[in-house]
Amino acid sequence: MSSRRSVLKVAAAAALGGIGEGTMTGATAQNRRHLALIAGKPSHPTMMHEYRAGLALLKRCLEGVPALETTLHTGGWPADPRALDGVDAVCLFMDGGAKHAALEGDHMQVLEALTKRGAGLGCLHYAVEMPADRGGRQWQEWIGGYYETYFSVNPMWEPDLKDLPNHPITRGVRPFKLKDEWYFNMRFRPEMKGITPILAAKPSDAIRKGPYVYPQGPYEHVIAASGRDETVMWCVERPDGGRGFGFTGGHFHLNWGHDDFRKIVLNALLWIAKAEVPRNGVESKVTPDDLYANLDEKPGRPSQPPPKP
């Protein structure tokens, strides 16, 4: 038994560590859906916005899904212009706003071509932010909405995410509360057309009044919406046959260790790739060592989990 456990540990470490551009989950098969994960360049202090480590962890959690082939690209947009050819879905976890990697070069044209043929698109945390006059319209079309500076807000808060809709993305997910930089007051399509709220909660008036992370606010239009539920994760099914989702959490890397926080994103990744979401959702377990693997080289980066008290 000890020998078998050792083999399993080595295999798991190799799977998590092998995160170079073009790394795939399992062997290619014609009946598999192909999901591309794109991790942005290092950003923010250590243990925050850990794009590479976060997507490497999600990739490892998807390795037991037989219907899915997953490719992870790290360090920003893949250098190979053909890297996304033929993929069924793309997930972006990267800096947003004016420095969004999707706005560089011909990347928006690449995404447009993918979505026109029905490929899915998912955005995590900062990647949902787009300038209103450059990318905002496309994000509304492709994923249903976007974070707009001075309209949307980004406070640190702990929403009570308890009213989950009946949807493949919520399979096996239990209500949960978790502190994160959950954005809200997104710039959605008019009248929320085609959008299904997945996670929503009611911020207190104190949260509405800020301070927000940046700019600190407060904004009168956010305060005036007192008592309204705010959507922090949503999905869409587009007329072109494609699917999209936005998930505004993901600031704190260790939150990926929360089973329901992680599961709802794993389910969403399968859903946008049009792979069947299991009845109980994507089951996965992560260890402290998993969470501290593949962190970006930033000042203060921990080399291992802290010792147990």
Residue 261 maps to a domain? yes
* DSSP-assigned letters across all residues of 91-157: EEES--GGG-GGGSTTHHHHHHHHHHTT-EEEEEGGGGB--TTTTHHHHHHHTSEEB-TTTSB---B
Q: pTM here? A: 0.91
- What's residue 309's pLDDT? 75
Residue 307 maps to a domain? no
- CA dist., res. 216 & res. 209, Å (int): 9
The token duo for 55 is 């997507």
pLDDT tens, position by position, 37-87? 999 999 999 999 999 999 999 999 999 899 999 999 999 999 999 999 999
Max Cα–Cα distance, the chain, nearest Å: 63
pLDDT tens, position by position, 110-164? 999 999 999 999 999 999 999 999 999 999 999 999 999 999 999 999 999 999 9
The candidate with the shortest Cα–Cα distance to 238, out of 147, 124, 119, is 119
- CA dist., res. 104 & res. 298, Å (int): 24
Question: In one letter, which amino acid is 108?
Answer: M
The token duo for 83 is 């890297």
Give residue 280's domain range: 32-291
The token duo for 40 is 């942005």
- What's residue 129's pLDDT? 98
Q: Kindly report each contact of residues 158-167 with a partner whose C-beta sits within 8 Å and lies 24 or more positions away, as own/partner.
A: 159/199, 159/201, 159/202, 159/203, 159/230, 159/232, 160/201, 160/202, 161/199, 161/200, 161/201, 161/232, 162/201, 163/200, 164/198, 164/199, 165/196, 165/197, 165/198, 167/196, 167/198, 167/235
Residue 18 maps to a domain? no
Residue 100 maps to a domain? yes
- Which parts of the chain fold into alpha helices (H)? 2-17, 51-61, 107-116, 136-142, 205-208, 220-223, 259-272, 288-291
Q: Residue 94 half-sphere exposure, CB side, CA atoms within 13 Å?
A: 25
Q: What is the CA radius of gyration of the chain?
A: 19
Residue 160 maps to a domain? yes
The one-character DSSP state at 247 is E
The token duo for 21 is 């551009």
**Which of helix, strand or coil describes residue 11?**
helix
Residue 56 maps to a domain? yes
- CA dist., res. 187 & res. 129, Å (int): 10
pLDDT tens, position by position, 255-299? 999 999 999 999 999 999 999 999 999 999 999 999 999 999 999
Residue 21 maps to a domain? no
Residue 129 maps to a domain? yes
Residue 56 near residue 1, CB atoms below 8 Å: no
CATH of the domain at 76: 3.40.50.880
Higher-confidence residue of 21 and 178: namely 178
How many other CB atoms are found less than 10 A from the CB of residue 136? 17
- What's residue 307's pLDDT? 87
Q: How many domains does the chain have?
A: 1
